Structure 1
Amino acid sequence: MIEISDIRASLAQGTTEQRCLALGLAEAIKLFGCLPHLLERIELRRRSIDARRKSDVHLVLTIRIHLCDELDEEELIACVPERERRRVRIVQERPAPAPEKLFRAPAPRPVIVGAGCAGLFAALVLAEAGAEPLLVERGDDAQRRSRAIEHFYRTAELDPESNIQFGLGGAGTFSDGKLTTGTKNPAHRRILEALVAAGVPREILWDAMPHVGSDILPVVVEHLVARIRELGGEMRFRTRLIDIERSRPRGGDIRGITVESRTADGVVREERIPCEQLILACGHSARDVFELLEQRGFELARKTFAMGVRIEHAQSAIDRAQYGRFAGNPALGAAPYKLVAHLGDRSLFTFCMCPGGEVVAAASEPEGVVTNGASLHARAGENANSALLVNVTPEDLPGADPLEGIALQRACEAPPTTSAAGAYRAPAQLVGDFLARTASTDSGAIMPTYPLGVTWTALDNALPRHIIDTLRAGIPLLGRKLKGFDATDAVLTGVESRSSAPVTVVRGRDCVAIGAPGLYPCGEGAGYAGGIMSAATDGIRCAEAVLRELANR
């Protein structure tokens, strides 16, 4: 097939897939000088926004053309004017190879712990291959989880097993649902197509910055579970991992797990589940699992993670800064941003930016104050918010305990540290006051969206000194890159402490944990992913490794 890139489209021309395809078809006919009926099929592959010149904001399209058999691709490209040829190339589809279906399901069957993006896609691949996996999740299904979160926001009564961090879909379900990734992998298209089949709008297949939204994701993950069950897999909720059994205490093969489940009437029971292949996709907030792994002698290592705050601006101000006079055009939607400021050996960077969204209460432990960001598919909220983070390296931590990063997270989340004791209120400070080293006493023009209320204060004691110093030095630098980013009434809300896991479960290139045959550490919690797409990709990678092991038995 032939790919044509850099097709310019006005904002009016690129509002729908059909209009983009019509524009792409006209471009193909102009370049190749052939009749439309000789082009068998046309596909929109990418649509992005070019806002480098605020006076000329427009869309840029990439299309792919499937030709009729009688047309030769190389001969057709040779007809393209020399000045346009850089935009045209022959491409070959590289679909991710589907694993061969097993002759029969293994006994005991593979077990996946954690039904976030990594666990769901690992289970889906195993189920498609006929392995009939068991997927266990400590939290609730999407509907019950939504009710638990609403109850927490209304009453400040936290369910430690069903919240923003735990439950079907993992932490990504109640987020902006961004599907961007900095890498290329054939599995990405497979993931996007699976999400579309589960109910995500088709635009994620071509949008340069695709997202889903926390109003759509709960339905999508329920559909993925239904598909896994349809293929012979099993899904259990309210089932928490409490032990891992090995053939010998150190260095032994996986032989089974013990789980604790809670019935509908509140009865708690323990159960041993035999398994020889265990995909551990527990998520970055499953601290009890990391503690269990350390106790059982699995190899853990510190890794660099990040901490900081959430920053909120008026979305209309971000739109104007990014799009100029085109701000508010429906074809553009709410403007995102991605910024970094380098300050010597430290950097300040934005992460998980949520246009038209809100700051959410993401605690998973009693009394802990944790923030994250989320937005609905429409991104129609008044505020923009983003994590504003600084890395914490292993060298920043005392001692040698691999779980020292978790201890630091907990210390920063504790109410006495944040000066926001009681009812999960979050500490907040205006950017102008923060830069002036003055405690805030009230909001300015920007009203914070954190649902359990904020305590106006100074943030200096909420985070390690190097993070506070980097925030203070870096925010004005980011203001030079994006006008208004350092506005005095922008709101800083703490703490953002769960952007990634501070520990990794060490594994080899075969995805098997070092010294623990049969254990496959997977996804964000194990230190091998950093978002929905990378987590899902790692889930597929680990599932394929399990299938290779089963095939070689």
Structure 2
Amino acid sequence: MLRITEVRLPIDHPEGRIREAILEKLSISGHELAGYTIFRRGVDARKRNRITFIYTLDVETPKESDILARMAGDPHVRPAPDTRYRFVARAPAALKERPVVIGTGPCGLFAGLVLAQMGFRPILLERGRSVRERTADTFRFWRRRVFDPESNVQFGEGGAGTFSDGKLYTQIRDPRHLTRKVLTEFVAAGPAGNPLREQTPHRHLQAGEGRGGHAKNHRRPGRRGPFPDPGPGHRDSKR
């Protein structure tokens, strides 16, 4: 599979224009294009009168070897990297002990998820409350200075990052492509939009119930946003 980067098209382009751009870039005919997927889509809005989408496309073609040889000097046409996630281990059939994960911040939640996918049946321990309850407790402290030592900015589901963007580390240049695994799980949990495709690394957490009750934190695109609302009817709610 080939990867083409920096494919620029107007934001109002018809759907078929992507296919045409691939054929033009690779100088191949339509029957030589087996298929393509959009790996990433960004927006270049530096010029207001010419806003464009910037695509990274993964292309399937039987002419791959010929194209790579012919376009060896083009930095925007390369073999597509293998972004599949590989588990480091599998749980034994007779699992005698279960791993314990302390804290349900982003790392704790994802560690628990991956351990479960490997069959280890992890136990997650969290000192604080669920996201919605914790949000109400935190708002109560901020607005009325009523402090709960067991449920606050530091303790509770979602970790400290629930109330702060923290330090953004996108890992877009990670040669292991571990971020792809994280984004794939976001999509599986049913977020708004498609973080696998859209080049917007910030994700805002919103309290709520996920698919089948397994994922409690919905993700929605956005660089900045309000803190999670405690819910309708709550005395600290904005609604």
TM-score w.r.t. length of structure 2: 0.75
Identity %: 30
Hey, what does 2:195 align to over in structure 1?
Answer: 204
* 8 Å contact kept, 1:120–1:225: no
Per the alignment, do residues 137 and 197 of structure 1 end up closer, same or farther by CA in structure 2, a change over 3 Å counting? Answer: same
Deviations 1:516-549 (A, max 9, x none): xxxxxxxxxxxxxxxxxxxxxxxxxxxxxxxxxx
- Asked if structure 1 preserves the Cα contact closer than 8 Å seen for 2:135 and 2:228, the reply is no
Q: What is aligned with 2:104?
A: 115
* Alpha-carbon offset, residue 50 of structure 1: 2.9
Equivalent residue for 2:214, pick from 218, 223, 244: 223
Look up the equivalent residue of 1:180 and give its one-letter code. T
Of Structure 1 and Structure 2, which has the larger fraction of its residues in strand? 1
In the superposition, relative to structure 1, how do residues 37 and 213 fare at CA in structure 2: closer, same or farther (>3 Å)? farther
Q: Secondary structure at the match of 2:108?
A: helix
In the alignment, structure 1 residue 31 sits paired with structure 2 residue 25: yes
Q: Following superposition of structure 1 onto structure 2, how do residues 309-458 of structure 1 map, counting pairs within 5 Å?
A: 354-355=223-224, 357-358=225-226
Q: 1 CA distance for matches of 2:99 and 2:201? A: 32
Give the conservation status (yes or no) of the 8 Å contact 1:180–1:209: no
The aligned counterpart of 1:307 is: none
Change (3 A) 1:183 1:190: same
Match of 1:149 in 2: 138
| Equivalence for 2:233 | none
Q: Decide whether aligned partners of structure 1 residues 174 and 26 sit closer, same or farther in structure 2, where only a CA change above 3 A counts.
A: farther
Q: How much has 1:126 moved relative to structure 2?
A: 1.4
Root-mean-square deviation over aligned CA pairs: 3.5
Q: 1:55: how far off? A: 5.8
Q: Are the aligned partners of 1:176 and 1:214 in contact in 2 as well (CA < 8 Å)?
A: no
Of 61, 74, 84 in structure 2, the residue corresponding to residue 95 of structure 1 is 84
On the 8 A contact 1:105/1:132 being kept in 2, the answer is no
Write the letter of the residue equivalent to 1:140: R
Q: Deviations over 1:370-418 (max 9, x none)?
A: xxxx589xxxxxxxxxxxxxxxxxxxxxxxxxxxxxxxxxxxxxxxxxx
Residue 25 (structure 1) shift? 1.6
Distance change (3 Å), C-alpha of 1:105 and 1:51: farther
Contact preservation (8 Å) 1:176, 1:375: no
CA distance change for structure 1 residues 225 and 55 in 2, over 3 Å: closer, same or farther? closer
1:51-85, Cα deviation, whole Å (9 max, x unpaired): 45566443321111123xxx1302134566x88x3
Residue 232 of structure 2 corresponds to none
Q: Does 1:11 align with 2:1?
A: no
- Note closer, same or farther for the CA distance 1:196–1:173 as it changes in structure 2 (3 Å cut): farther
Q: Which runs of 5+ in 1 are unaligned?
A: 14-18, 227-332, 335-353, 359-373, 377-450, 452-553
CA distance in 1, matches of 2:32, 2:192: 30
SS state of the match for residue 204, structure 2?
coil
Assess, with a 3 A threshold, how the Cα gap between structure 1 residues 183 and 35 changes in structure 2: closer, same or farther. closer
Counterpart of 1:31, as a letter, is: K
Residues 64 and 167 of structure 1: is their aligned pair in 2 closer, same or farther, counting only changes over 3 Å? same
The amino acid of 2:23's aligned partner reads I
